[in-house]
Amino acid sequence: MPTDRPTAEELVAAVRQHLIENLAPTLEGQPAFHLRVATNALGIVERTMAEGDAMDQRELDRLRELLGVDGDLIALNRELAERIKAGAFDDRRETLLAHLRQTAIDKLRLSNPRYMVPRD
């Protein structure tokens, strides 16, 4: 990846911030809603650029350990689904659930970190 500044991450963050601070206050109704959707999407892009590769690697490492085989993330997730359907994890349910929970938490952190904040 290029080392020039601003980085892709910085550009996305700057665009998102500009839209929120300068454009959002001027909009109402459906255009305001569409802007919120767009800025939320940019937030997902920012978090994915910053954390996505590391999250994918952790998931891949867990899958390799869980399945005892090597492969890429897509292939191992397919293998996991097949093994779940075949009942291969009936005796290792907690291990499987720990992996699935962590994967879901990581994906929620990317899509909307506010989902992970405990509420009263």
CA 28 to chain centre: 30
Does a structural domain hold residue 34? yes
Q: What is the pLDDT of residue 1?
A: 57
Per-residue pLDDT tens digits for 19-43: 999 999 999 999 999 999 999 999 9
Model's pTM, two decimal places?
Answer: 0.81
- Per-residue pLDDT averaged across 58-70, rounded? 98
**Counted domains in the chain:** 1
Does a structural domain hold residue 3? no
Does a structural domain hold residue 2? no
Does a structural domain hold residue 86? yes
Per-residue pLDDT tens digits for 71-102: 999 999 999 999 999 999 999 999 999 999 99
Does a structural domain hold residue 1? no
**CA-to-CA distance for 109 and 111, rounded, in angstroms?**
6
In DSSP notation, 11-45 reads: HHHHHHHHIIIIIGGG--HHHHHHHHHHHHHHHHH
Does a structural domain hold residue 64? yes
Does a structural domain hold residue 21? yes
Q: What is the pLDDT of residue 4?
A: 87
Does a structural domain hold residue 67? yes
Average pLDDT, the chain: 94
Q: Which residue has the higher pLDDT, 115 or 59?
A: 59
Residue 115 pLDDT > 90, yes or no? no
Q: Which residues contact 38 (CB under 8 A, 6 or more apart)?
A: 19
Q: What is the pLDDT of residue 38?
A: 97
Domain range for 66 is 8-116
